[in-house]
Structure 1
Amino acid sequence: MSTTVTESRLTPDAAVFREVVPAGEPFMRRVTKGQVFRILDLEGNQAVDTLFYSAVDPEERYDANNTIREQGNIYLTTGTVLRSNEGNPMLTIVADTCGRHDTLGGACSAESNTVRYALEKRHMHSCRDSFLLALAEWDNGMGKRDLSSNINFFMNVPVTPAGGLTFEDGISEAGRYVEMRAEMDVLVLISNCPQLNNPCNAYNPTPVEVLVWDPQ
């Protein structure tokens, strides 16, 4: 699949919020309708596991099936409307200098580390752990049952002719970003992936930056 690169007109100095998320750490924030939310890959090839929830009713959350079906494409890029489990638009990707993002590969966990790599990898930190830490700190009653299929921004997960998934070298580079306009008030939940066992982040987790702009 060819990638689509679309630059943003927004400048970092006009952002109303900026925060660097260290490698392996979680992040959670409310983004209001009309705001634009950017994830910036600071050093390249980092994987950013992300979930979105309605800030009004977290039972409504990002849904990969609805998103893929409505756009007729398994990859996410400029123009993709991220849809909820109720079919509503949650965010629209309005700029993307990476060109393709995964919504099938899921998040690493103790269980997947064991199955994919080795038994002794079970206790390595994982995105599922980061998600749960952020939800515990947010303290709004959300927990394990609220973890659904996530987006892996900047991650390269090709689908084989047989329908399987492979985890390949990332296609992002330092300074690339993906930018989304919120179509409703959303809670953004990020795990800046700590994975050391596959090439999604060149075996070297690195920080990313999150930026938010008010409606123009």
Structure 2
Amino acid sequence: MTVTTIPPRSGTAFRLAKGECLTVIDPQGEQVADLVVFNAQDIREAISSGRSLDYASKLYLTTGDLIYSNRSNVVLTIVEDTVGRHDFLLTPCSRDTFRIIYHDEHPHQGCFGNLEAALAPYGVASDAIPVAFNCFMNVVIAPATGALTVEAPLSRAGDYVKFCAEMDLIVGLTACSALQSNNYSFKPIEYRID
């Protein structure tokens, strides 16, 4: 099984056939990976945070949980997860994220820009990129106010989450570009398909 490395602050896209499994690995620890998927037969069908969280009745998806599309079809099953804390609320970081939240005058294109470039050859337009399943991202929610705080990922070197495809998919995957999400250090992400 070949392991592929996504360099820091970059992204890629590829096909994943029904029945194949994708393992997203954090080789150094405390690094987020944004994951989006689309039905390879009809890219208008895509991963859905809202439906997945609604049907699971919880915010933190892990081993045994299903990830649904905007058409309420299962796109992925989480079959192994060594961390158990991922985010499925926050949008991929972007130039606008860095401009609005961090007041960056020369912002990086972020995960959104990396996904946009990687998915373009598959016909996915920027407006079709949904909220990502943010592997390893640790978003803490204050019970009383609902305030969101991005904390350091709980993942350590070698931690992983393994998904199995429930339909033929186009996958977009990044090594996240937001400093706060990655405990202020940019690192690679690895993945393998089996």
Q: Same fold (TM over 0.5)?
A: yes
* Residue equivalent to 1:41: 26
* Residue equivalent to 1:93: 78
Q: 1:125 to 1:141 in 2, by over 3 A?
A: closer
Correspondences of 1:63-212 after superposition (within 5 Å): 63-120=48-105, 122-136=106-120, 139-161=121-143, 162-196=145-179, 198=180, 200-212=181-193
**1:164, CA displacement in angstroms?**
2.3
- 1:76-104 Cα distance to aligned partner (Å, 9 max, x none): 21111000000001010000001111100
Q: Distance in 2 between matches of 1:201 and 1:141?
A: 30
Q: Check conservation: 2:60, 2:84, Cα contact below 8 A.
A: no
Q: Distance in 2 between matches of 1:124 and 1:103?
A: 22
* Residue 32 (structure 2) pairs with residue 32 (structure 1): no
**1:66, CA displacement in angstroms?**
0.7
Q: Check conservation: 1:90, 1:182, Cα contact below 8 A.
A: yes
* Residue equivalent to 1:5: none
Q: Distance in 1 between matches of 2:22 and 2:149?
A: 29
**1:141, CA displacement in angstroms?**
2.4
**1:149, CA displacement in angstroms?**
1.1
SS of the residue corresponding to residue 173 of structure 1 reads coil
Question: TM-score, normalization: structure 2?
Answer: 0.95
Q: Distance in 2 between matches of 1:180 and 1:119?
A: 35
> Hey, which of these two has a bigger chunk of strand by percent?
2
* Residue equivalent to 1:3: none
Correspondences of 1:49-60 after superposition (within 5 Å): 49-60=34-45
Q: Check conservation: 1:63, 1:149, Cα contact below 8 A.
A: yes
* Residue equivalent to 1:6: none
- Letter of the structure 1 residue corresponding to residue 134 of structure 2: N
In structure 1, list runs of 5 or more residues that go unmatched. 1-14
Q: Check conservation: 1:106, 1:151, Cα contact below 8 A.
A: no
- Letter of the structure 1 residue corresponding to residue 73 of structure 2: N
Q: How many residues align?
A: 193
In structure 2, list runs of 5 or more residues that go unmatched. none
**1:156, CA displacement in angstroms?**
0.1
* Residue equivalent to 1:12: none
Q: Distance in 2 between matches of 1:90 and 1:67?
A: 10
Question: TM-score, normalization: structure 1?
Answer: 0.86
Q: Distance in 1 between matches of 2:104 and 2:166?
A: 42
Q: Check conservation: 1:158, 1:168, Cα contact below 8 A.
A: yes
**1:159, CA displacement in angstroms?**
1.4
SS of the residue corresponding to residue 179 of structure 1 reads strand
Q: Percent identity?
A: 34
**1:119, CA displacement in angstroms?**
4.0
**1:158, CA displacement in angstroms?**
1.2
CA RMSD of aligned residues (A): 1.2
